[in-house]
A and B are shown apart, each in its own frame.
Chain A
Amino acid sequence: MFKTLNTLLLACLLVAPAASAMQMKDYHKEIMTGDNGKVECAICHGDVKRKTIPAASQCESCHGSSDDMALQTARPKDAGHDVEPNPHDSLHYGTDLPCSYCHREHKQSKVYCNECHKFEYPNMKR
């Protein structure tokens, strides 16, 4: 009896953490959850068995291109130093940086620019 329980327990531990157990942003969880109540990992990760970090093109299917994102967070033309730089259109990198280097789904997001800078983006969903 104990042996069976142990085996079961072990089997549970060995299975990759279920999506439901993984940290997710609420708004994404809501959209990604199917009729069966399960999060559909494939929406971002595709059907491959070994999950990898999604390419920007995956994000773009809902959020639009990197140029679209840059427009959404554009600074007003006459903006001074009180307005932070556009996080989606950098002096150094243009619109090249893939989404996932800042926006993390299963752990806390971070600002890549802040390897050097101290930009504050309070509206960014961490």
Chain B
Amino acid sequence: MSDKQPLNHRRRQLITGGVALAITGLGASMAKPVSAACVPAHEIKFDEVVDIIVVGSGFAGMSAALQAREAGASVMVVDKMPVFGGNSTINGGAMAVAGSPLQQENGIKDSVDTMVADMLEAGRGMNDVEMLKLICNGTAESCQWLTDYGVQWKPFVQHFGGHSLPRILQTVESSGAGIIRPLIKAAKKRGIDMRTQTKLESFIKDDRGRVTGIEVKANYFFPKERSGVTRRYGARKGVIMATGGFSRDIEYRKMQQPKLTKELDSTNHPGANADALKQMMLIGANPIHLDQIQLGPWASPDEKGFGTASQFNTIATYPRGIVVDARTGKRFFNELADRKARADAIMTRRDDQGQPVYPIGFTNAEGASKAQTLDWGLKYNVIKKADTLEELAKIYGIPADALKAQVTSWNKAVDIGEDSQFGRPMQKAMKLEQGPWYAVRMWPKVHYCMGGVKVNTRSEVLHLVSYEPIPGLYAAGEATGGIHGASRLGACAVAEGVVTGRNAGQICAASKSIVLKHVQSS
């Protein structure tokens, strides 16, 4: 009792006498948004004003910016990092396209409906179907749009896990840089104001609740929170949030999924945190599916990030090799299942203490012939080479006889064209007959946030309470939630980013401008 009294007393002080103190405390914890939002509209002055501000410079951001510029809007792109492109420029550069010319050349019959169905199945039915249709319907045209900006694709179609047929196009660089770099070049050429080291701090709204701009830290030096100078940028037409996910925000992702601790590495760039998401939520955005966080099942614990193994596994091991339990030499899952199924399967491989027993994925020289990262992986000892299956078994401590028996039974399955054990699609399956063999140890890494803010098919961010668009606020790409449901299919992030980015850019550019006050900063 006696302990509680001072506490109550203090609380009352805060409520009554200590109002100033309480407000100071609130201001400190919630930082700028409150103060910025409270300034009457006619008093808000901006250091600079453009039609559209795009926050983030990945697939969604660059696509939004260029599309808006094509429509005649003046555009500024801000990114908090020292370089443009976020995760997009370090990703694998693979885009799922329904109905590409390359599919037609190869006699692959695909359709928007088939792609929607595939994404729905992987998403366990949790997906926003209207958004799915928007995206899948836009892939073929957006792919051409990228090609027109100078993106170069490999001359073959790939079959990624979870897709019912081959529909993946990949940049010749095997990297999203093959998309981002041409888009940055085009943006600069077309007069889009491109700024790195510019961090969104909060939104500025007028007294009718419309988002009129952002407060930023210019000259911000990631991750030094005390760096940079405060600036206000106004947007006459709107702010497009293309701010990605929070895979590298260990604390926040753990709140959603306590098992995703710091022991799990991530494929993401260091800036992939929840800061921008939180700012959107503070002005009423509706968070959807935040606990749906994807693990990439093609990563290796023997290197950091996406590394060399991820590309090796997606193009070689998974479609043209097999993955075995290191203790038994036996396959234990469908190597072309969707990412969630594969990551979940891999993470069941643990010893009595619960420690990971890394499964081994491998193929031979023929299977690895298209893996551009093979030589780099060998150089850094992530991918290992063995001339015979005995040698391969020895490197990883696999029982050699069991491994050979598994390879024999796999080859039989390829002959009859059916994987009766795990139901793997066999279109691209290949018999494993001759060495040399190439192998990696595998363990998933945090890769993608299916969750984000709720948007409509006009890419408007919807308010948590009214379900109506928050005026002046748009979002695209990974920053949005609900589109992929429980598991995003491979190569669908590029598709989503480009299609929804362009959608946001187009609609925002067509929206009505408001008049904003502009001050020349001294």
Query: What is the interface of chain A, defined by CB distance below 8 A to chain B?
Result: 52-53, 55, 80-82, 91-94, 96-98, 100-101, 112, 114-118
Query: What is the interface of chain B, defined by CB distance below 8 A to chain A?
Result: 82-85, 89-90, 173, 175, 177, 180-181, 196-197, 219, 221, 224, 227, 269-270, 303-307, 375-376, 378-380
- B224 (CB) vs chain A CBs: closest residue: A53
Known pairs A81-B375, A81-B379, A92-B175; A97 contacts B304 (CB<8 A) = no
A97 touches B175 (CB 8 A): no
- B382 (CB) vs chain A CBs: closest residue: A118
A96 touches B304 (CB 8 A): no
**Sample (10) of A-B pairs whose CB atoms are under 8 Å apart:** A80-B375, A91-B175, A92-B177, A93-B89, A93-B177, A97-B82, A98-B82, A114-B304, A116-B307, A118-B380
A52 touches B227 (CB 8 A): yes
Known pairs A96-B84, A98-B82, A101-B82; A115 contacts B304 (CB<8 A) = yes
- B197 (CB) vs chain A CBs: closest residue: A98
A91–B376 alpha-carbon span in the complex (Å): 14
Q: Please give 12 more A-B residue pairs, beta carbons under 8 A apart, in addition to A91-B177, A93-B89.
A: A52-B219, A52-B221, A52-B227, A81-B375, A81-B379, A92-B83, A93-B85, A115-B270, A116-B90, A116-B305, A117-B307, A118-B304
A21–B118 alpha-carbon span in the complex (Å): 62
Interface on chain A toward B: helix, strand, loop, or mixed SS? loop
The 6 lowest CB-CB distance pairs between A and B, nearest first, are A116-B305, A81-B375, A93-B83, A92-B177, A92-B89, A118-B380
Q: What distance in Å separates the Cβ of B193 from its nearest Cβ neighbour in chain A?
A: 15
- A85 (CB) vs chain B CBs: closest residue: B376
Q: Which residues on A sit within 8 Å (CB–CB) of B83?
A: 92-93, 96-97
Q: Which residues on B sit within 8 Å (CB–CB) of A96?
A: 82-84, 196
A-B pairs under 8 A by CB, number: 58
Q: What distance in Å separates the Cβ of B166 from its nearest Cβ neighbour in chain A?
A: 26
Q: Which residues on B sit within 8 Å (CB–CB) of A52?
A: 219, 221, 227
Known pairs A52-B227, A116-B306; A92 contacts B376 (CB<8 A) = no
- A99 (CB) vs chain B CBs: closest residue: B82
Q: Which residues on A sit within 8 Å (CB–CB) of B376?
A: 81
A80–B376 alpha-carbon span in the complex (Å): 10
A81–B383 alpha-carbon span in the complex (Å): 14
- A53 (CB) vs chain B CBs: closest residue: B221
Q: What distance in Å separates the Cβ of A98 from its nearest Cβ neighbour in chain B?
A: 5
A94–B84 alpha-carbon span in the complex (Å): 10
Q: Which residues on A sit within 8 Å (CB–CB) of B196?
A: 96
Q: Which residues on B sit within 8 Å (CB–CB) of A92?
A: 83, 85, 89-90, 175, 177, 180
Q: Which residues on B sit within 8 Å (CB–CB) of A117?
A: 303-305, 307
Q: Which residues on A sit within 8 Å (CB–CB) of B378?
A: 81
Q: Which residues on B sit within 8 Å (CB–CB) of A115?
A: 269-270, 304-305
Q: Which residues on A sit within 8 Å (CB–CB) of B307?
A: 116-117
Known pairs A53-B221, A92-B85, A94-B181; A82 contacts B90 (CB<8 A) = no
Q: Which residues on B sit within 8 Å (CB–CB) of A112?
A: 82
- B310 (CB) vs chain A CBs: closest residue: A116
A112–B306 alpha-carbon span in the complex (Å): 15
A93–B86 alpha-carbon span in the complex (Å): 10
A13–B480 alpha-carbon span in the complex (Å): 49
Q: Which residues on A sit within 8 Å (CB–CB) of B269?
A: 115
Q: Which residues on A sit within 8 Å (CB–CB) of B379?
A: 81-82
A96–B177 alpha-carbon span in the complex (Å): 13
A112–B89 alpha-carbon span in the complex (Å): 14
A53–B181 alpha-carbon span in the complex (Å): 26
Q: Which residues on B sit within 8 Å (CB–CB) of A93?
A: 83-85, 89, 177
- B173 (CB) vs chain A CBs: closest residue: A91
A98–B195 alpha-carbon span in the complex (Å): 13
Q: What distance in Å separates the Cβ of A67 from its nearest Cβ neighbour in chain B?
A: 15
Q: Which residues on B sit within 8 Å (CB–CB) of A81?
A: 375-376, 378-379
Q: What distance in Å separates the Cβ of A119 from its nearest Cβ neighbour in chain B?
A: 9
Q: What distance in Å separates the Cβ of B279 from its nearest Cβ neighbour in chain A?
A: 24
Q: What distance in Å separates the Cβ of A14 from its nearest Cβ neighbour in chain B?
A: 19
A112–B85 alpha-carbon span in the complex (Å): 15
Q: Which residues on A sit within 8 Å (CB–CB) of B89?
A: 92-93
- B267 (CB) vs chain A CBs: closest residue: A116
A82–B375 alpha-carbon span in the complex (Å): 9
A114–B227 alpha-carbon span in the complex (Å): 23
A110–B379 alpha-carbon span in the complex (Å): 21
Q: What distance in Å separates the Cβ of A48 from its nearest Cβ neighbour in chain B?
A: 11
- A80 (CB) vs chain B CBs: closest residue: B375
- B177 (CB) vs chain A CBs: closest residue: A92
- A56 (CB) vs chain B CBs: closest residue: B82
Q: Which residues on B sit within 8 Å (CB–CB) of A94?
A: 181
Q: What distance in Å separates the Cβ of A39 from its nearest Cβ neighbour in chain B?
A: 22
Q: Which residues on B sit within 8 Å (CB–CB) of A98?
A: 82, 197
A95–B307 alpha-carbon span in the complex (Å): 21
